[in-house]
Structure formats: C-alpha cells, structure tokens
Structure 1
Amino acid sequence: MCLDFSGILGVALLGVFLAPITATDNISERNQGNVGGNSHQSVNIDKQKQVVNVDNNNGWHSWNSIFDYRSGYAATRILSKKSCVVIPLSKIPLPDVTTLPQVIREKQKDPSKGPERKEVTYVVSPEKITDLSPYGKNIEALCRGIPTYLAKEAHARGSVFAIGGCFQADILCIVNLNLCAWI
C-alpha cells in the first residue's frame, strides 16, 4: 500500500491557510459578582455560519442562547423554566458577528470600554410555537422538545411587569435581556 504524501501535505497546508477564515472564537468569562453565587459564561462565535452560542452555567439559573444572524432570530433556553423563548434578532442591540469577539474582549479587560450595556425587555406570548422551522436549524435544535414561545419587545418595563416575573439573561455585560411573563 502506497501513500501519496504530497496529497496529504497539500490538504494539511490548505487547512492551515483556511483556518483563520473559517475560525470560531471561544470566549470564557467567570462572574463572581452575581447575586446567589458564581456563574460562568462561554461564548462560541462562528463567523462563517453567523451564529453565536452563549452558555451561562449558574446551577438551576443556567441558560443557553443562540443568536442566528442569518435567520434573524435569537432564542434562549431557560433551564429552570424548562422552556425556550424566541426573539427577533433585529431588536437585540448586539454588535455584528464579526466585531463581537473584539467588543467582548474589550469589556473583559476594562468594563468601562466598548459600548454601554443595553437593557431590552420582552413580553413572552402565552401561545406556544408549534413549528420551529421558520426560525432556523440552530434555534430548532436548541428548542426542540420543550415548550417554546415568541417574545415581542416591550417599550417600557413599568408597573405592568411588577406583578409577573422576568427572567434576566446578561450577555457578557453587553446586553441584558429581560424576558417577562405575559400578564
């Protein structure tokens, strides 16, 4: 059996040169200032697929979010609620997928640098989403098998929400999403 090492070498070199183009960014953050203890967030950014995956590990208050720039939607799976919430991505003030890694690293070095943290409040509809396919394969995979709801931006977080609970997802000190129950 003969091996063609020139072909193997060519494929290896091609991989080395293509890696920076298709690379993903993995960013980790440990937050000791949260109420109730420590949390750990990890962010995976796939620039080629234009998908950002955020995992927040904080015991029973853990959650996962997918920001799918191609489909135009984001979703958050709330482990304690055993549910998923889909949000139109255009309403979330996140930086572009290509500049997001740099913004996150700036915030890690100096929280006063970079864009000011935005807070956005959403009202979660009581109607379950029965077909996840319009929201893209990534969101479909995240929310498959659990109750999933659509959220719409609320223009004020006034006394209407004081009766019902809001779930907060802080995305690396860039965006604070408030997902509030329908009242």
Structure 2
Amino acid sequence: PMLVMHGFGDEVLGFTIAFAVLLGVFVTHAHEVRSVYLHTHGNDGSVTQQTVNINNVDHVASVNINAGQQSSSTVMDYDNNIIGYRLFAKKSCYVAKMNRAKMPALNQISKLAQDAKVEDKKQIAPPHGMQYTVSQTPVKNQASLGKSIDMLCRGVPTYWAHETEGTNLFFSASGCVSIRLIFFDVSLCGGLA
C-alpha cells in the first residue's frame, strides 16, 4: 500500500523529510547529543520554531527552522570545516567553508541556545552576520563535503557560497535570502530572491 498525504505543500513535506534524515544522524549517539527547542520572535511579531541539535561525537551541529516559506536547515560540520544551508522554498542547498573566527565553537552552541531560550520574550540580536555570494556552478561531488552535509543536500542542487567581506559586504540587498539563526544572521546573495 502506498501512503498518500493530502494538504501538505512540497516545502513542508521537504522540511519534514530533511528533519527526519538529519535527526537520524543524531539518534545514533543519543547520549552524546543535546537538543534545544525554542521559539524566536521576529521584528514583525512572527514566531519561528528553531531546533538546535549538537552532536559531540561527530562534531556536528544543526539548526532546523520551521517558518513556513522561510523554513531551512543549517548543518555545521566542525570536522570538515563546512557549513551547509538548505532552503526548502528554493529547493536548493548552499555550502561554504566555515569561518572559525566568526563561528561559535561547538561547545558554545548549546549555551547560546539555552541563553536564547531563557531570553525568549526579548528580541536578541545575533552577535554578528555573515554574507555570502553564491556561485552559479553546482557542486559536482556532494559526497566529498562529508556525511552530514551530503545528507542535508541530497536530492537538490548544491552550490558553493563564498563569504563576502570588507567594502563588498553590503553590495546589494536585492537577490539575497536571509536566515536568522539564534547565534548569527546569514545572507546568501546572487540572484536568489
């Protein structure tokens, strides 16, 4: 028998599938994984659900954001120094080299998530933001990005994103998609909007 689901959009179904796949990565070592569930409040009064998972065995953290059309999953692979962003509405994935100078250490993420949960009623400004320019050339071998990023990006086009610094940081707000994680803001630019 085939399971038929009515009333679910591609984005919600995609988010659910990706969340289940990512959760599988973390269930393997359940006693070494910490999860924090929280709701953040946007400037427009909207409430966003974020789930933060920290896997100390595989040195991976993920943030799953359930926010309708702005739903996304982010995976930070500290062993491979790669961060991946999957945007469900765009049906695509973006990967970048992890900038350790700007990225919180794996052991800090749990504390940042807990602090955000305690301060739930207040609007907390992330400590900084990162902006990336997205390449138009797809990644050819996603498996080379590591198991966690490969699982995150499997089945959708994946592109490299390069961090933009200095005077080019705010070159154009058009063509950018933003992700507001609890510990930093991300802008992916290059004709994505």
TM-score bucket of the superposed structures, by smaller chain = 0.7 to 0.9
Q: Which runs of 5+ in 1 are unaligned?
A: 1-18
Give the corresponding residue for 2:138: 128
Tell me the CA shift for residue 91 of structure 1.
Answer: 5.4
Which letter does structure 1 place at the counterpart of 2:169?
A: R
Give the corresponding residue for 1:144: 154
Tell me the CA shift for residue 92 of structure 1.
Answer: 6.9
Q: Deviations over 1:4-46 (max 9, x none)?
A: xxxxxxxxxxxxxxx99x5211011112335373210001100
Give the corresponding residue for 1:31: 40
Give the corresponding residue for 1:65: 74
Q: Measure, in 2, the Cα distance between the counterparts of 1:47 and 1:122.
A: 27
| One of 68, 79, 84 as aligned partner of 2:88 | 79
Which letter does structure 2 place at the counterpart of 1:180?
A: C
Give the corresponding residue for 2:169: 157
Report how many residues are paired.
160
Report sequence identity in percent.
Answer: 26
Q: Measure, in 1, the Cα distance between the counterparts of 2:101 and 2:46.
A: 27
Q: Deviations over 1:139-171 (max 9, x none)?
A: 11111111110000111333x323x32111111
Q: Which runs of 5+ in 2 are unaligned?
A: 1-28
* Cα RMSD after superposing both structures: 2.6
Asked if structure 1 preserves the Cα contact closer than 8 Å seen for 2:129 and 2:186, the reply is yes
Q: Deviations over 1:55-82 (max 9, x none)?
A: 0001111000110101110101001111
TM-score (norm. length: structure 1): 0.77
Residues 1:99 and 2:108 are matched in the alignment: yes
Give the corresponding residue for 1:52: 61
Three-state SS of the structure 2 residue aligned to 1:70 is: coil
Distance 1:48 1:60, change over 3 A: same
